[in-house]
Structure 1
Amino acid sequence: MYIKMIPALLLVAVMNPTDGATLNPVIIVPGDAGSRLDAVLNKTSVVHYLCRKESRLYNIWINLLELIPPVIDCFIDNLRLVYNNVTRTTSNSPGVDIYIPGFGDTNTVEYLDPSIQVLAAGYFAKIVNSLTEWGYVRGQSVRAAPYDFRKAPNEMGVYFIRLKNLIEDTYIMNNNTPVVLLAHSLGGCVSLYFLNNQSQSWKDKYISKYVTVSVPWGGTIKSLLLFTSGYYFESRRMRRLERTMSSSAFLMPSDKFWKSDEVLVMTPFKNYTVNDYKEFLNDLDLDSAYQMRRDTEQLIRDLKPPGVAVYCVHGQDIPTPHMLVFDSDRHRWPDDHPRYVLGDGDETVGVRSLTGCLRWVGQQQQDVNHQVFPKEKHLAILFGDYFIDYLKSILFQNN
């Protein structure tokens, strides 16, 4: 086993596909908020008079019209999850059914908003377009496995059955050719959990390579924003949704990556470390979130090797939050956005978490390849020519 570093400047000159060669098919596993969601409503009550009680199937994520105040309150109530501390699972908001469209296809991960299909607003659009230029065919040799990103892997049993069937089906569709899994961000954590639960003989037969991009192997400090001030647009409103998602708890920083005396959240009243999650979430009156953290903290905590050839890719050399600081005045706990103590990373995930894949060196027989693209951000890396050229070199290196 070895670590293979390929200088970025050499990646411009990559191999062209060999005539008649069988391409290893690619299956995309998207990241957090990277799958389109559809909804059907049949509610008995609503949070605002503008909200609908009933609807046919419609796109709820991502739909920019749903994010305009005060309609965003309808969106949040429709997309929130409800935790059951007996079954230790979440369910949809009462009267709401959520569906993940496009399983096996790529369109729903190329463009998350179906009404805006321009490259600048895309997700995997540039990558899929590049794959088709290299000889790949949508729906046959390049496919996608979107999922309900609100949930952590412990609630994704049905999805994993579908993912396994998709891999096997894609293998057969492409002349019994092993598959390349291409996973971004949370999708890397989800797919690692999946691979850890497959037999080695199955992986040897069906998986050729595992390409991971911008993966928070040990969690991310920014996930703590989801429980405090909120992270995305209209953050105070959106945190009402983010706090109900088991994937938010799943992405909290791991005690395998942060020391017990490292402060993650500083407030005028107390400081919180990885050993203080119960107190942290209880102080926010979020007992359900703490229960979800208990449900998810062990899922990939030990970072068991995937047992397949790994190509671990990420950006770095970008200031990235390493601590959240809530001052007593301008950055009030927990409602105002905190200031950051910054360190190295890809703007979203710290470098210590991004490089978690290096722990597999010497732990598995298969190669562990590591490629860093300086100054490439967590999401923007998917649009970068250097990464796309590197992906091409991976796909065609044996042809």
Structure 2
Amino acid sequence: MRIVQWTAILLLFCLCDARLDFWNGKESTHNHNKVNDLNPNKFSPVIFIPGDGGSQVEAKLNKTSSLHYYCEKTADFFNIWLNPKLLVPLVIDCWIDNVKLTYDNKTRTTQNTPGVTIRIPGFGRSEVVEWLDPSITKSLAGAYFKDIANALVAKGYVRNVTLRGAPFDFRKAPNENQQWFVDLKQLVEDTYTQGGEQRITLLVHSMGGPMSLVFLQKQTKEWKDKYIAQVISLAGAWAGSAKAIKVFAIGDDLGSFALSGSVLRAEQITSPSLAWLMPSPHFWKSNEVLATTHTKQYTMSNLNEFFDDIGYPQGWDMRQDTLPFTDFTAPGVEVHCLYGEGMPTVERLNYKGDLKTTPTLVTGDGDGTVNARSLKSCERWSGTKAQRGKTIHSIELPGVDHMGILSDKRVVEYVLDLLVRNKTYDIEENERYDYRRQHQLHHNWLN
């Protein structure tokens, strides 16, 4: 369930070969001696937490064999995601073999293909989550948090000082990303110090929402009160998505006319994060149908049979491993949930024959990737004991899709209002703010 659309990837081939200074490891031109010089306006420093597919990935190869004669067996660290040269027919087989994971049901962990070393570069740096391909300069292709980052920098934020990034191995779920939670806590504390002891804003997208929730659930009340100002969630997949079922069943072609979902499925289904992002039992009823054939219905209560019948029982094992991280206890900090709605989003798979046939996708409301009930599930925290009276702002954006929310001008203005202009929002707890009805009342920032 990758977040990047293939139509955007194709644009990468038209890019020039220029490089930004930060990709060459050059230091910032800012030469301040005092921390407060870097944050004179006392802005809340921001840490971007990306979603599935939202981190750069590098690979090193030292393989004894390869799938095809044209697949490299040895290579020093190189960018493997997002790398358009590898995401093309034929060569995609090499990419899949290098990126896929193998599940061990004894250790309950995954491993890379033998001879492949994977690393996530740039922890702490904002640029690695602003752009997903380090070769990109001035194109929308491969852009991620770049529009929001550019807007904040224009108002006085400083990259890698008051604007940070927390990339992670999005193939894996929280149970195999435990070091990331340790590193994120240290990053929050370091950024708090170098940002003039201003509390931190976690700005998250998609899978970054539940990852931030797991992180905050691990922290004490005292720590959160000292270090965290708020969470701004864009298209948070808080309660998972039915699209994950679709990916396990038939894969996802990333919107490409050149690649097959059934081919990409060989890599996609090996990611424990996909199992983690399946519909949450807290928001899908046990008898709710997720897939149906001419002889059988698969519900939340018999998903183990679904994995057996598609020939991938490891998927159920990974699901069991990640269930402890579907706890929906409130984060205990102020949360701003912004999300799209009104976009056809997969709810169920209907097969006319058995699971070997191609299903019809039954759609419902959502942002095209995440179902509406998951996007707005943050509302459930309002008024709970664990939320400790911290406000929940739930704001829907009609017609905005899962990726489009990152560059939506209204979202950028909302972030600037909140962090830079010190505008407050008169939104009662648990109120879903509908732009169609109330945008004239909301600081005129839709204009």
TM-score computed with the length of structure 1 as normaliser: 0.91
Q: Which residue among 93, 101, 109 is the counterpart of 1:89?
A: 109
Ranges in structure 2 where 5+ consecutive residues have no aligned partner: 1-38, 255-259, 424-447
Q: Residue 41 of structure 2 aligns to which amino acid in structure 1?
A: A
Q: Residue 307 of structure 2 aligns to which amino acid in structure 1?
A: L
Spell out, residue by residue over 1:132-171, the C-alpha distance to the aligned partner (whole angstroms, 9 max, x if none): 1111111111110000000001111111111111111100
- Contact (CA 8 Å) 1:219, 1:253: kept in 2 or not? yes
- Asked if residue 114 in structure 1 is aligned to residue 134 in structure 2, the reply is yes
SS of the residue corresponding to residue 57 of structure 1 reads strand
* CA distance, structure 1, for counterparts of residue 417 and residue 56 of structure 2: 29
* CA distance, structure 1, for counterparts of residue 112 and residue 53 of structure 2: 16
Question: For residues 322 and 396 of structure 1, do their structure 2 counterparts lie closer, same or farther at Cα, with a shift above 3 Å needed?
Answer: same
* Offset, 1:27: 0.2
* Offset, 1:334: 4.1
* CA distance, structure 2, for counterparts of residue 207 and residue 193 of structure 1: 14
* Offset, 1:383: 0.5
- Contact (CA 8 Å) 2:155, 2:420: kept in 1 or not? no
* CA distance, structure 1, for counterparts of residue 41 and residue 127 of structure 2: 26
- Asked if residue 103 in structure 1 is aligned to residue 123 in structure 2, the reply is yes
* Offset, 1:20: 4.5
- Asked if residue 291 in structure 1 is aligned to residue 317 in structure 2, the reply is yes
- Contact (CA 8 Å) 2:343, 2:401: kept in 1 or not? yes
Q: Residue 53 of structure 2 aligns to which amino acid in structure 1?
A: A
Residue 386 of structure 1 is matched in structure 2 by 410
SS of the residue corresponding to residue 250 of structure 2 reads coil
- Asked if residue 333 in structure 1 is aligned to residue 355 in structure 2, the reply is yes
Question: For residues 207 and 334 of structure 1, do their structure 2 counterparts lie closer, same or farther at Cα, with a shift above 3 Å needed?
Answer: farther
- Asked if residue 175 in structure 1 is aligned to residue 175 in structure 2, the reply is no
- Asked if residue 305 in structure 1 is aligned to residue 330 in structure 2, the reply is yes
- Asked if residue 372 in structure 1 is aligned to residue 396 in structure 2, the reply is yes
Residue 297 of structure 2 is matched in structure 1 by 271
SS of the residue corresponding to residue 297 of structure 1 reads helix
- Contact (CA 8 Å) 2:230, 2:334: kept in 1 or not? yes
Alignment of 1:116-155 (within 5 A): 116-121=136-141, 122-155=143-176
Q: Residue 306 of structure 1 aligns to which amino acid in structure 2?
A: P
* CA distance, structure 1, for counterparts of residue 129 and residue 163 of structure 2: 12
SS of the residue corresponding to residue 46 of structure 1 reads coil
Q: Which residue among 57, 70, 75 is the counterpart of 1:50?
A: 70
Q: Which residue among 329, 349, 366 is the counterpart of 1:324?
A: 349
Q: Residue 276 of structure 2 aligns to which amino acid in structure 1?
A: F
Q: Which residue among 73, 91, 96 is the counterpart of 1:76?
A: 96
Q: Residue 52 of structure 1 aligns to which amino acid in structure 2?
A: E
Sequence identity percentage: 44
* CA distance, structure 1, for counterparts of residue 87 and residue 356 of structure 2: 23
Residue 361 of structure 1 is matched in structure 2 by 382
Spell out, residue by residue over 1:160-206, the C-alpha distance to the aligned partner (whole angstroms, 9 max, x if none): 11111111110011111110000100011111101101111111111
* CA distance, structure 2, for counterparts of residue 149 and residue 212 of structure 1: 17
Number of aligned positions between the proteins:
376
TM-score computed with the length of structure 2 as normaliser: 0.82
* CA distance, structure 2, for counterparts of residue 37 and residue 206 of structure 1: 29
* CA distance, structure 1, for counterparts of residue 357 and residue 321 of structure 2: 26
* Offset, 1:39: 0.3
- Contact (CA 8 Å) 1:79, 1:92: kept in 2 or not? yes
- Contact (CA 8 Å) 1:314, 1:373: kept in 2 or not? yes
* Higher normalized contact order (CA 8 Å, seq sep 6+, divided by chain length): 1
Residue 40 of structure 1 is matched in structure 2 by 60
Question: For residues 118 and 333 of structure 1, do their structure 2 counterparts lie closer, same or farther at Cα, with a shift above 3 Å needed?
Answer: farther
* CA distance, structure 2, for counterparts of residue 64 and residue 335 of structure 1: 31
* CA distance, structure 2, for counterparts of residue 44 and residue 231 of structure 1: 30
Moved >4 Å (runs of 4+): none
Ranges in structure 1 where 5+ consecutive residues have no aligned partner: 1-18
Residue 205 of structure 2 is matched in structure 1 by 184
- Per mean C-alpha deviation after superposition, the further-off stretch among 27-36 and 369-378 is 369-378
- Contact (CA 8 Å) 1:31, 1:186: kept in 2 or not? yes
- Asked if residue 67 in structure 1 is aligned to residue 87 in structure 2, the reply is yes
* Offset, 1:398: 4.1
Residue 6 of structure 1 is matched in structure 2 by none
Residue 16 of structure 1 is matched in structure 2 by none
Residue 13 of structure 1 is matched in structure 2 by none
Residue 432 of structure 2 is matched in structure 1 by none
Q: Residue 198 of structure 1 aligns to which amino acid in structure 2?
A: Q
* Offset, 1:397: 5.5
- Contact (CA 8 Å) 1:119, 1:125: kept in 2 or not? no
Spell out, residue by residue over 1:97-117, the C-alpha distance to the aligned partner (whole angstroms, 9 max, x if none): 001011111222111122233
- Contact (CA 8 Å) 1:192, 1:306: kept in 2 or not? yes
- Contact (CA 8 Å) 2:275, 2:319: kept in 1 or not? yes
- Contact (CA 8 Å) 2:282, 2:328: kept in 1 or not? no
Spell out, residue by residue over 1:241-295, the C-alpha distance to the aligned partner (whole angstroms, 9 max, x if none): 1111000000111221112222111222322111111101111121211110000
SS of the residue corresponding to residue 377 of structure 1 reads coil
Q: Residue 292 of structure 1 aligns to which amino acid in structure 2?
A: M
Question: For residues 81 and 309 of structure 1, do their structure 2 counterparts lie closer, same or farther at Cα, with a shift above 3 Å needed?
Answer: same
